[in-house]
Amino acid sequence: MKTFWVLASFIAGSSVIATHTYTNNIPEKNRSKNSAPVGSVYIIIDKSDYELSLYDEQGWYATYPVVFGNSSLSDKKMEGDKNTPEGVFHIASKRIHDKWDRFMALDYPTKESWEKFNQRKSRGEIPASAKIGGGVGIHGTWPHEDFQIDRYKNWTMGCISMKNEDVEDLYKYVPIGTKIIIRR
């Protein structure tokens, strides 16, 4: 759930603040639910907005609510920090998962991920013994726990989590090799 504060009006010299709250419970789609994306697809994940957007050759196709690992929304620095990595990735593999419905593994760590990791080590930002980690992907929730997404509750170890119905929808549209941009 996201809340926006809006300055509503000025009354007798004092301001009145109103809030507008919305919940993105249902994925937005640019086209009918029956039409599949056209041609090749790519994904942009915006950590600040808690959104995963799917694009095809005609432009924006759909947006789904997502959650991440750590509430700080920081870039992944090392194994175990629960942060979701930022950068350009690709889907390396896909499979049905017994706990999280569907799992689409990312090719993390990439060359760019290794460069950032090594720079952080050399600057002393992370311990010399730190490991970069791996196993990052896009997946669903535990059975009957889609409410975690509705509440924007970050709970993963650094993965991107979607509602199970949404991850099943996305899984149909994205082949191995699909480009994914993760940003904040």
CATH at residue 51? 2.40.440.10
User: Model confidence over 123-148: pLDDT tens digits?
Assistant: 999 999 999 999 999 999 998 899 99
- Report the domain count for the chain: 1
The token pair that represents 112 in the structure block: 């760019």
pLDDT surpassing 50 at residue 175:
yes
The β-bridge partners of 19 are: 5
Residues sharing a CB contact under 8 Å with residue 148, sequence separation 6 or more, in sequence order: 67, 141, 155, 161
Nearest Cα neighbor of 62 from 30, 25, 24 is: 30
pTM of the model: 0.83
Domain residue limits at 142? 2-183
Confidence label for 38 from pLDDT (cuts 50, 70 and 90): very high
Confidence label for 25 from pLDDT (cuts 50, 70 and 90): low
For all residues of the chain together, what is the average pLDDT? 86
User: Model confidence over 154-166: pLDDT tens digits?
Assistant: 999 999 999 999 9
DSSP 8-state code for residue 35: P
Nearest Cα neighbor of 45 from 176, 160, 174 is: 160
